[in-house]
Amino acid sequence: MDGKIGMLLLLLLSVGFTSFGQDFKQEELSYKEFLGYVKKYHPLVKQANLEVSNAQAMLMVARGGFDPKVEVDYSKKEFKGTEYYSLLNSSFKIPTWYGIEVKAGFDDTQGRYFDPQNRTPEAGLASLGITVPLGQGLFINQRMADVRSGKLQLQLSDAERKLRAIEVLYKASEAYFEWRRAYNEAELYKRYLGFASTRLNGTKKLIELGDAPAIDSVEAKITVRNRQLNLENGDLKLAKAKLELANYLWIEDVPVELGDGVKPEEKLLETLEETLKTDELALKAPPLQAHPKIQALENKRLMLEINRKLKANLLLPKLNVGYNYISEPNYWSSFNADDYKFYIDFSIPIFLRKERGNVRIAKLKIQELEFETEQQRLELGNKIKAQQAEILSLRRQKSVIDELVQDYIFMLESEERLFSYGESSMFLINSRENNLVSAKLSQISIENQFYLSNAQLFRILANPD
């Protein structure tokens, strides 16, 4: 029985390790799929999403300023068998949007010694009233400002979330493109090492037959050794690039490393612009007003405008008027307008220097932010144009290098035919092949620059969703 339980546990553990292994074992990892994993699972992207959650919590706090409130104040004193006083003051307050406050209360006073103005009927005294600010606080007050700012903060946080997320996606894209470049270079060195090894073996046979000079084997061997060094260096760069990529590859909240057989997307050139939304159709009229940076600055300006209105409101006199209808609890069925409490609260500073200074500071902050917004619009527009020009230039360079590679291939094939007729030498073949390898490396490099340039445009546009 114990043996069966042990086998069952071993089976479950093996299934668990298989399910949550740390190696990515697909044959190909496409760029679009990779970005999807980063958007969904990377911790820094999730951390950026917390910006919105935090803003939602802050908005809830601001709305709490309008929550109804129950207040009870009770005090009692007895000494040597005498009840000096028993005072109960309770109320239920409902704040409203425009600073108006509705209040219901109940007071009860008993005992021998208390302030006469606190005297209540035997059953207590109920009240229902309203307080209205006719100066400060009617059209805007701190509670209203907090809620309005909270709503704007929610939009601001979403813009900042996009800006933080786009940085992660850009860095992840850099890692993917570097991995693809290192992979292609390593494959190139591996392929031409195979050609050089085959050529060395063929040369040795020709030397044995007396159809080639012995020096050709030295020339061929030098080429093999150089290719081996290139491949070793390429494999090192590839290993480092894979580890750098692993910093961004998370699946189901588990960090994942690439398996040895995983390849980058082969047809990336055809899908890149669609994945990043950097094609000419999408960029015909870049909507700068919808850019997260501009949206963030605009929301900050609106929040400063709310603060300015709040400061300007303090220039008004403080004038609060309150009316409370009072009655014994059992008399509420009959209304008597003569039973009430009424008060006026009025104050105003003489010079208003503090208030006028705060309003001026608020206006200057808004003006400063407007200047910054205009500059950001100009810079973003120019950055987009410059990046589009770079992409077009790299596309033309790609076309030129592709033709150059084809020319070098033709030259190498021609040299090999001449060698087969005995009209060339191993030195010339190696020279042609070295030129071809250099051109192919340049081709890989220009392709990589093209990918990075599109990723940079994606970063400038800042639209990670």
Q: CA 151, CA 334: separation in Å to the nearest integer?
A: 45
Residue 328 has a pLDDT of 82
What the chain holds in terms of domains, given with CATH numbers, is 37-63+144-297+359-461 (1.20.1600.10), 66-138+306-353 (no CATH)
Tell me which long-range contacts 388-396 makes (C-beta under 8 A, separation of at least 24): 388/283, 388/457, 390/453, 391/278, 391/450, 391/453, 391/454, 391/457, 394/446, 394/449, 394/450, 394/453, 395/450
Residue 18 has a pLDDT of 32
Residue 2 has a pLDDT of 44
Q: Which residues have C-beta within 8 Å of that of residue 329, sequence separation ≥ 6? A: 106, 123, 124, 126
Q: CA 187, CA 331: separation in Å to the nearest integer?
A: 96
Q: Is 366 left (phi over 0), alpha (psi -120 to 50) or beta?
A: alpha
Residue 179 has a pLDDT of 95
Which of 293, 276, 465, 464 lies closest to 388 in space, CA to CA?
Answer: 276
How far is C-alpha 265 from the chain's CA centre? 26
**pTM score, two decimals?**
0.83
Residue 447 has a pLDDT of 95
Residue 25 has a pLDDT of 62
- The distance in angstroms from the start CA to the end CA of the chain is 55
Q: CA 23, CA 46: separation in Å to the nearest integer?
A: 22
pLDDT tens track of the chain, all 465 residues? 444 434 333 333 333 333 333 555 678 899 999 999 998 988 898 888 888 888 888 888 888 888 899 999 989 888 887 888 888 899 999 998 888 899 999 998 888 887 787 788 878 888 899 999 988 888 888 899 999 999 999 999 999 999 999 999 999 999 999 999 999 999 999 999 998 888 888 878 877 777 667 777 788 888 889 999 999 999 999 999 999 999 998 888 788 888 888 899 999 988 898 888 887 655 665 568 889 999 999 999 999 999 999 999 999 999 999 999 888 887 656 777 778 889 899 998 888 898 899 999 999 999 999 999 999 999 998 999 899 899 999 999 999 999 999 999 999 999 888 877 778 777 888 889 899 999 999 999 999 999 999 999 999 988 887
Residue 86 has a pLDDT of 86
What does the DSSP 8-state code read for residue 134? S
CB neighbours of residue 359 within 10 Å: 20
**DSSP bridge pairs for 74:** 88
**DSSP bridge pairs for 108:** 88
